[in-house]
């Protein structure tokens, strides 16, 4: 369940502005404020079924936007590549006693360069 909440929050961050104000409000109350369907229906003065339908319709739209635009997918790949670069840099920094030779550093720099070019091509 936590993974779905996290994914919906990220999808909302990327595509929330494409939803109607009502859809944004309902999803915000449900996912960000962690309100139940009943609490949202009381607050918005609509039926619990209307809240449920709005959530399901909005979730479907967010998944459709992601399927077409793939912004979240691209973001996650970029994040992973940046983490990879940081790991390489930290490994180089942790070579305090100079135990690694110059070839090692050149190989690590090639990795950073390759990842950087991949990032720029996206």
Determine the length of the chain. Answer: 122
CA pair distance 110, 20, nearest whole angstrom: 47
35-87 per-position pLDDT tens digit:
999 999 999 999 999 999 999 999 999 999 999 999 999 999 999 999 999 99
Residue with tokens 């550093």: 105
CA dihedral 84, 89, 90, 94 (to 10 degrees): 140
Opening angle at CA 10, ends 116 and 28, nearest 5: 155
pTM for the structure as a whole = 0.78
Residue range 2-69 in CATH 1.10.10.10 = yes
Residues 6+ apart with CB under 8 A from 50: 41
74-121 per-position pLDDT tens digit:
999 999 999 999 999 988 888 766 677 888 888 989 999 999 999 888
């Amino acid at each position: 369940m936590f993974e779905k909440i996290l994914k919906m929050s990220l999808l909302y961050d990327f595509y929330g502005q494409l939803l109607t104000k009502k859809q944004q409000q309902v999803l915000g109350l449900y996912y960000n404020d962690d309100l139940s369907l009943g609490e949202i229906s009381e607050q918005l003065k609509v039926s619990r079924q209307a809240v449920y339908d709005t959530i399901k319709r909005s979730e479907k739209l967010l998944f459709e936007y992601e399927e077409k635009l793939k912004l979240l997918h691209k973001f996650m790949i970029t994040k992973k590549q940046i983490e990879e670069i940081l790991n390489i840099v930290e490994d180089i920094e942790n070579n305090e006693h100079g135990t690694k030779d110059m070839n090692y550093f050149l190989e690590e720099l090639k990795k950073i360069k390759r990842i950087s070019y991949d990032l720029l091509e996206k």
